Amino acid sequence: MPGTTSRTRPSEPPASKPSIARSIVIDASPERVWEAISTPGVLEIAHPFCRENPVASWPGIGSKDRIVYYNGLVMERQFVRWVDGVGYDLEIRPAGRDERSSVAWRIGSEADDKASLSITIYPAVGALGRRQTDRLLKLLGRYLDSVVRGFEHYLRTGQPVRRNQFGAHRMFSGAPKDGSPQRA
């Protein structure tokens, strides 16, 4: 099922829900960034914590894939809104569990035929207290820093991102192969 052709912005989850966002300017056209983020299985080459990104259905609304992280965690993604050239919204959850977080991916136009890539996570915080939620958002911010940097690296160089290229992450990396301590 192809994506929509509308140029309107996908809807955003409520502002009252906790969220964390990261954005990066990429020396590539918005069209090239869209081509990358809408390619099935792209996380295997542009995401520094992703070991596998098997796709069940693609593209457009209803797309489904999985992220298998280096630490063995498996997350299932379902795309609930898809606007060609602009971005998409998805729900993500640990495989076999019910709690879902929302994630919004957006592309913006910048000067000199560059683009911005922004990712916002609206985590399922359930009964977490304020302090725990703040810690989670901080960890997710570090995660997003590496993910947007991974896409910038891939689009700038054409080379796949290496495992933990921008530093390991305790929630997603597993133990580094070189035995060095993990950050974040």
The CATH number given to whatever domain includes residue 104 is 3.30.530.20
Quick check: is 10 in a domain?
no
Q: Is residue 6 part of a domain?
A: no
Task: Please work out, in degrees rounded to the nearest 5, the angle formed at the alpha carbon of residue 91 by the alpha carbons of 90 and 94.
Answer: 135
12 is a domain residue: no
Q: How many domains does the chain have?
A: 1
d(CA 167, CA 40): 25
Which residues form the domain of 60? 20-157
Q: Let me know if 35 is exposed, middle or buried by CB neighbors in 10 A (0-12, 13-18, 19+).
A: middle
Q: Assess if residue 174 is contained within a domain.
A: no
Q: Is residue 184 part of a domain?
A: no
**Span 89-105, average pLDDT:** 95
Q: Tell me whether residue 83 is in a domain.
A: yes
Residue 180 lies in a domain: no
Distances (CA, A) of 182 to 127, 139, 147: 28, 13, 17
Task: Write out pLDDT tens, residues 80-93.
Answer: 999 999 999 999 99
Q: How confident is the model at residue 4 (pLDDT cuts 50, 70, 90)?
A: very low
Whether 9 is covered by a domain: the verdict is no
Question: Is 116 a residue whose pLDDT tops 60?
Answer: yes
CA distance 144 to 148: 6
